[in-house]
Amino acid sequence: MTGRRRGPRRTRTIAAPSASDPAGMAGRVVTHHGRSAVVEDAQGGLHLCTTRRRVGKVVCGDRVEWSAAGPRQGVITRLLPRSNLLARADGGGRSRPLASNVDQVLIVAAPEPPLSEALIDRYLVAAELLPARALIVVNKCDLLSPAERTELEARVADYQAVGYGLIFTRRDDQGTLDELRHHLRDKTSILVGQSGVGKSSLVNALLPDRDVRVGALSEATGLGRHTTSATTLHHLPEGGDLIDSPGVRDFHLESVDVADLGRSFREFGPYLGQCRFHNCRHHGEPGCAVSTAAQQGQISARRLASYRQLLDSLP
């Protein structure tokens, strides 16, 4: 019996997903609300997407792969690797992600509501842990008299002393707004701060087409008023992206390792590892190099006290 002769075996090549492949188009999450996320495609089109369960939760700034499921609708099929994730802890200690792939954190403060160094310090720790550049913006300075301005500058001088950028802004000062635009160019920045510090006025000054953008989001997705209250990514005219997050009454850090917390206060750096005990918490232990530096005026005593408050709040 003669066997059947077989021809050469054929191999099948499966192409990797690409931006032009409808089974795996590239996109970026520009906002989300509940179980819905708005994905922007490579051409700037907006699509209301659901997320496959195995993908997990996506946040503003995520880069994803998605497939179309109808006009302006789709399904997120894959979450691409993140460079970082900014999150806060809620009242129950649960993690609440805010945004991902952030290059810079803009911490907005103002004379009213009263400026809180403790809140600024918590945001700075979060930025150091990402890691991301931090820039402090003191807004609404037109409310200050010359004497009040001098007093406020003295209060925030500690931040400049350790290398943080600091900009004072007001509605009628185009020069400081231009300085701010320079710092934002070609970066993905997130705007954070208390409610009432004037973030909306800054956003409107930096994004002249913000209302058009929000209208397009509302029309394309049907999210309506939620587009103005959700964390949203906007493209800056000069290049770069600005993520606008809702104002908060407070900001709580997620669980932080004690050593990481110490490293997040950058002025402690030269003294870490110089303490008598290798596991020193810099909270009154004998032979603490950080405490000694504060006593000698080499680091800010207020910042050390702020560190200790955060340390006491750790679980």
Q: Where do the domains of the chain lie? A: 25-79, 85-244, 258-313
pTM of the predicted structure, to 2 decimals: 0.87
Sign of the torsion angle spanned by Cα atoms 191, 192, 197, 200:
positive
| Cα 7 from Cα 13, distance rounded (Å) | 19
Q: What is the reported pLDDT for 163?
A: 96
Contact at 8 Å (CB) between 195 and 248? yes
Instruction: Give pLDDT < 70 ranges for the chain.
Output: 1-23, 210-213, 220-229
Please write the tens of the pLDDT for every residue from 150-160.
Answer: 999 999 999 99
Q: Which pLDDT does position 93 carry in this prediction? A: 75
Name the fold adopted by 85-244.
Rossmann fold (3.40.50)
Predicted confidence at residue 20, as pLDDT, reads 40
Contact call for residues 107 and 137 (beta carbons, < 8 A)? yes
Q: Do residues 162 and 156 make contact, with C-beta atoms less than 8 angstroms apart?
A: no
User: Who contacts 42 (Cβ-Cβ below 8 Å, separation ≥6)?
Assistant: 19, 25, 26, 27
pLDDT for res 228: 53
Q: How far is CA 263 from CA 164, 173, 259, 283, in A?
A: 15, 36, 6, 15
pLDDT for 89: 87
pLDDT given for residue 157 in this prediction: 95
CATH classification for the domain delimited by 25-79, as one of 3.30.70.20, 3.30.460.80, 2.40.50.140, 3.40.50.300: 2.40.50.140
pLDDT digits (tens, 9 = 90+) for 124-156: 999 999 999 999 999 999 889 999 999 999 999
Q: How does pLDDT run across 36-53, given as a tens digit for each residue?
A: 899 999 999 999 999 998
User: Which tokens is 238 given?
Assistant: 């000069």
Q: With respect to CATH, is domain 258-313 assigned 1.10.40.50?
A: yes
